[in-house]
A and B are shown apart, each in its own frame.
Chain A
Amino acid sequence: MDNARFLKFVLGLNALLPLGLLLFDAAIGSLGANPVEYFLRATGVMTLVMLLVTLAVTPLRKLFGWNILIKSRRMLGLLTFLYCSIHLVTYSFFDKSGDIPAIIGDVIQRPFIAVGMAAFLILVPLALTSTNASIKKLGGKTWQRLHRLSYLVAILGVVHFWMIVKSDLFYPALFAVGLSALFAIRIYYSRATKKPLQKPGLAIRPD
């Protein structure tokens, strides 16, 4: 196993470990007095964690040259989608008893549900196009442009979290700060690459 694959394996395992532990604790009744609420919150938080980890790949490559991470990025994105789906299914089944009209009513009436649902609906096409065939079909540029929507998903996700807490904004703020930092690094590097000095031809100087 080369290092890139080993890293992918370690990242995948650590991303799935909380889910395994959650399901185990749910099975043995160790999720506290309100297990549904805890499971719902934990899968929501894990979605945000996975989103930030996925979005951290490019900044980490630029900052530290950790290009090895790129091989894990699509898997991380798909695991984000997995947590998000479980979060939505938990809400739909336990909070809404699978009542589709009630869920639609919730989306219309409650802005925080609408924001969360929008984030999920944007994630769906991103997850569906996470194959080599899709990249070929769409072309690298278009595919990349489509997948830039993950930034929007992250913003919606943090807003969704921010809107539901009663008074303790510490964790939503933590995610907001993390996301802002990732954006700042990206913006810094995208500006830096636009400098004329970086253009090919000009960068080569005779000594």
Chain B
Amino acid sequence: MIGIPGISLAIIGISLLERALGFASEYKGESKTLIMTSPDRTEITPEPLYLNRRNFIRAGVFAGSAAVTGLVYNAYRPDTITPGPKASGAEFGELARKPEFQSSETPNSFEDITNYNNFYEFSTSKTAVAREAQALKTDPWSVEVGGLIEQPRSFSLQEILQFPQEERIYRFRCVEAWSMVIPWVGFPLAALLEQVRPTSEAKYVAFETAYDRSVMQSSFSAGIDLPYVEGLRLDEALHPLTLLATGLYGRPMPKQNGAPVRLVVPWKYGFKSIKSIVRITLTDKEPPTTWNIAAPREYGFYSNVNPTVDHPRWSQGSERRIGELTMRETLMFNGYEKEVAELYRGMDLEKFY
């Protein structure tokens, strides 16, 4: 949007600057040579006219360059897509709100949750995803569920929405050391897995995000292998906190947040909570995961929120809650230690980061 006027203004600005500079040096050179070589003094611009023209050009350079700087600044400024009126959950009917999944913490605003997203398929800029992700086509949508299960099948979005939906307020901690509190809408992944009945060999669950090259960027631009893949151990996937989320703030999932259906694993770093899922596969081996492929030393398969195990490049001991200016302490398993510590009993969490 800003591109074309920005470029044309940049060209005007540069040409004005060049003219001002070029004109100045040209004139100085000419004034000497003209006097010496040309007897026709009328070729020399009269001084008042020259000064007027100079002031005019200077005003142009001044305003033009400032306009270009302002436009460049504006192009990079985080823009906020204003969401429509807040729905009261009408899209989902009456949502169950189990007391154990509510929170005393105030959720982040809908604006913040929907304008600060990591979704590398659309943009590596967290503030540009909201705009870019609107190109995602979510209708029709289906999720292929296969692998080591008794009943491989495909779920349409309508079928996914048949599972009883509830609202859960979870903390969300990104590996980049920022966090939010989000009122998700969804249902336990366990409910879906129970329907397809994993076989006794199934030990892991692999997930895959939609990858539509017509609206998403290349792996090269994103800097990560695409399609995006994630995975959980089967017991993690069956844990009651693990959610298949279909919405937030009582509304269908916004595209930038991973419409129409995504995973939410609140005790793990955000990148484990894979967005816009098209495939769920039960496996007997630990499935590959995108960020682990990109930087194995930095992002492990487990990626549990752990303030005592730092990212090789930055601290995980504290985080910035969106809406706050300074940092707060990061909690073990993102504050879900009581619920999930049992899953990792006896494991060296520095080794299995």
Binding site for B on A (CB under 8 A): 3, 6-7, 10, 13-14, 17-18, 21-22, 25, 30-38, 42, 66, 68, 94-95, 97, 106, 109-112, 163-164, 166-170
Contact = CB atoms under 8 A, between A and B. Distances in A.
Nearest to B324: A36
Contact of B120 (A10, A17, A66, A167): A167
A166 B127 contact: no
A36 B127 CA distance: 13
Interface residues of B, number: 44
B95 interface: no
Contact of A94 (B73, B127, B322, B326): B326
A66 B25 CA distance: 9
B227 interface: no
B276 to A, nearest CB: 19
B155 interface: no
Nearest to A6: B58
A204 to B, nearest CB: 23
Interface string B39-77: 000000000000000000010011001100110010011
Contact of B78 (A6, A10, A31): A31
Nearest to B58: A6
A36 B222 CA distance: 24
27 contacts: A3-B20, A13-B62, A13-B65, A17-B66, A21-B73, A31-B77, A32-B78, A33-B78, A33-B111, A33-B112, A33-B116, A33-B322, A33-B323, A34-B178, A34-B320, A37-B320, A66-B21, A68-B24, A95-B327, A110-B313, A110-B315, A164-B313, A166-B223, A167-B222, A167-B223, A167-B224, A168-B223
B82 to A, nearest CB: 13
A4 B183 CA distance: 59
B325 interface: yes
Contacts, number: 98
B115 A32 contact: yes
Interface in B58-113: 58, 61-62, 65-66, 69-70, 73, 76-78, 80, 108, 111-112
B65 to A, nearest CB: 5
A14 B69 contact: yes
A113 B10 CA distance: 35
A25 B116 CA distance: 17
Contacts of A111: 313
A68 to B, nearest CB: 7
A106 B65 CA distance: 39
B77 A10 contact: no
A66 B20 CA distance: 12
Nearest to A171: B124
A25 B224 CA distance: 32
Contacts of A170: 124, 221
A11 to B, nearest CB: 9
Question: 6 closest pairs, A vs B, by CB?
Answer: A167-B223, A32-B78, A33-B116, A168-B124, A33-B112, A3-B24
A68 B310 CA distance: 50
B294 interface: yes
A110 B314 contact: yes
B21 A14 contact: no
B176 interface: yes
B325 A37 contact: no
B10 to A, nearest CB: 12
Contacts of B112: 33
Interface in B195-236: 221-224
Interface in B237-252: none
A22 B70 CA distance: 11
Given A6-B58, A95-B327, A164-B313, A17 B70 contact: yes
A166 B77 CA distance: 20
Contacts of B295: 167
A46 to B, nearest CB: 10
A68 B25 CA distance: 10
A36 B325 contact: yes
Contacts of B222: 167-168
Contact of A13 (B25, B66, B294): B66
Contacts of B62: 10, 13
A3 B24 CA distance: 7
Interface in B108-133: 108, 111-112, 115-116, 120, 124, 126-127
A32 B127 contact: yes
